[in-house]
Amino acid sequence: MEKKETLLAFLRFLKERCSFSFNKDSFEDRLQLQKKVYVAGFLGLGHGYRFSRYIRGPYSPPLAKDYYSIESEELKRIEDYSSSLGSFDGERFLDLVGGKSTRWLEIAATVLSVWADYCNTFHGEELKKRVVLTVKGLKGSATSDEIPDIFSELERKGLLKTNC
């Protein structure tokens, strides 16, 4: 399936299940969408976008290009989004990100990004320590408990698998 079609289906899911009506003119919405797509990839969303780490966490220029090109009519024509989302675990996604702030999404996505880079090199407590220290360096404004707490939540929710 084409990346943009998956994105449209995911946007429809976000609107119907998360009350998130994406507005491409809103910086906050664009930031949240980038992080939600990234996190959803860890829960089976085969979005096909490549992300790099930027100041505000994982970012995909091709994803930005696609959401800027979406017309409202395209989103309206997606009726059955579930068949377009493949093995995406929407319930786990809702459980994880439901009600979370943009700041939480940004830190969580950054934790997942750093963890994905480190998980084949480090293991156990050493992996957690290095991820937390690296994310702290990237997110200097985060409190001393914020990053370990988010790491632990992602771990409890099964997003940080030992066999990455």
**Model pLDDT for residues 42-89, shown as the tens digit of each residue:** 999 999 999 999 989 999 999 999 999 988 777 667 777 888 898 999
Predicted local distance difference test score (pLDDT) of residue 80? 75
Are 106 and 90 within one domain?
no
**Is 58 within the bounds of a domain?**
yes
Q: Which residues pair with 92 in a beta bridge?
A: none
* Backbone φ and ψ of 28, nearest 5°: -60, -45
Predicted local distance difference test score (pLDDT) of residue 162? 60
Average pLDDT over residues 26-43: 97
Core vs surface per residue 4-32: b (16+ CB within 10 A) or e? bebbbbbbbbbeeebebebeeeeeebbbb
Predicted local distance difference test score (pLDDT) of residue 119? 92
Are 81 and 19 within one domain?
yes
Are 110 and 34 within one domain?
no
**Is 140 within the bounds of a domain?**
yes
Are 63 and 90 within one domain?
yes
**Is 162 within the bounds of a domain?**
no
Name the residue with tokens 């200097």.
140
**Is 164 within the bounds of a domain?**
no
**Is 163 within the bounds of a domain?**
no
Are 73 and 110 within one domain?
no
The last residue of one of the domains, among 97, 114, 138, is 97
**Is 129 within the bounds of a domain?**
yes
* Backbone φ and ψ of 57, nearest 5°: 105, -165
Are 91 and 144 within one domain?
no
Predicted local distance difference test score (pLDDT) of residue 1? 54
Are 21 and 86 within one domain?
yes
Are 84 and 141 within one domain?
no
Are 49 and 130 within one domain?
no
Are 71 and 116 within one domain?
no
Average pLDDT over residues 13-21: 92
Are 110 and 89 within one domain?
no
Domain count within the chain: 2
**What mean pLDDT is reported for the chain?**
91
pTM of whole model > 0.85? yes
Range of the domain at 20: 3-97
Is a pLDDT exceeding 70 seen at residue 130? yes
**Is 128 within the bounds of a domain?**
yes
